[in-house]
Copies of this chain bind each other. A is one copy, B any other.
């Protein structure tokens, strides 16, 4: 993972020349955690015993924004704040109007809805600003903030792991059920193999999660940064439900699996690519890779199954399929099959809160 100086080098635009003053400003700036106004940065620089003119600070801030090292945010109080992007993905803000403190969050669900709105207007979005103004807990209750400050970078990694784990869990449930429902022995083996993989990967992720939280005991108490609600419910949850519909043969199960893996892959890939270099980004991209592999495996299996079924039709042998109806299983685990089927027909839209 990139160190702060590697981060700067990666972003340094070609053609300019180095300058010790600029380097110093950037260094001081990167050491800060929250949002800084230009003036506050000037003060910090002065405290660190350097005499750099205000104009240079402003110019360097602009330079950092252009380079992608910093982002300029507008809290609506007539002056700009700056936050660095080192290990910080782009996010939204909660802003306390009484103490001016700000809190960061990111919601994939909201971003999805924003995309829909933009699409409906045929608007090509480039950036979204979302700020919730109000009163923070401390200013509301008058009590001091007892929660210890943990670098956002760790909370981000924690939440990335949580999302991955939730997805992994729902994936495991999916393949377990699919294996149980499978009629074709080869199909069953595929599902079992994937279930085993998910199980193993899940324990890896959980170990990583434990490691992270044990290294920083305060971490679990931190409020969430990622509000990835739909993903946290498990991207395979809908698929698991669909499996329970009547008449879901191996072929259909594969199809559902393919759809879920693709959706999952895309989701983790999209965010992983968008995030700044960080542990969170790595978790997302690694997970996306896993999902892509599963996706590809399923596609291969699907093709093989189709080929097998076709050849069987041409020169029919003994029927290997339907020795026991899926219905049996269904009745045992899930009595109301009617709804599910109606829901499945409607597509993925039936998410019940």
Q: In chain A between 74 and 110, which residues have their CB closer than 8 angstroms to a CB of chain B? A: 74, 76, 94, 96-97, 103, 105, 107, 109-110
Is A342's CB under 8 angstroms from B128's CB?
no
CA distance A128 to B331 in the complex (A): 48
Say yes or no: A131-B128 contact (C-beta < 8 A), given A335-B246, A337-B336, A338-B244: yes
Is A123's CB under 8 angstroms from B129's CB?
no
CA distance A342 to B223 in the complex (A): 31
CA distance A128 to B242 in the complex (A): 37
For the residues of A in contact with B, the DSSP-based class is mixed
Say yes or no: A123-B116 contact (C-beta < 8 A), given A336-B339, A338-B336, A343-B241: no
Proximity string of chain A (228-245) to chain B, C-beta cutoff 8 Å, 1 when within and 0 when not: 010001000010011011
Is A129's CB under 8 angstroms from B126's CB?
no
Is B116's CB under 8 angstroms from A227's CB?
yes
A155 vs chain B, min Cβ distance (A): 12
Say yes or no: A113-B109 contact (C-beta < 8 A), given A133-B128, A238-B352: yes
**Is A334 located at the chain interface by the 8 A CB criterion?**
yes
How many residues of A sit at the interface, in one of the four size bands? 35 or more
A78 vs chain B, min Cβ distance (A): 9
Question: Which chain B residues border A123 with CB–CB below 8 Å?
Answer: 94, 96, 103, 132, 134-137
Proximity string of chain A (320-344) to chain B, C-beta cutoff 8 Å, 1 when within and 0 when not: 0000000100110011111110110
CA distance A327 to B337 in the complex (A): 12
Is B227's CB under 8 angstroms from A117's CB?
yes
Question: Which chain B residues border A224 with CB–CB below 8 Å?
Answer: 120
**Is A318 located at the chain interface by the 8 A CB criterion?**
no
**Is A114 located at the chain interface by the 8 A CB criterion?**
yes
CA distance A127 to B134 in the complex (A): 7
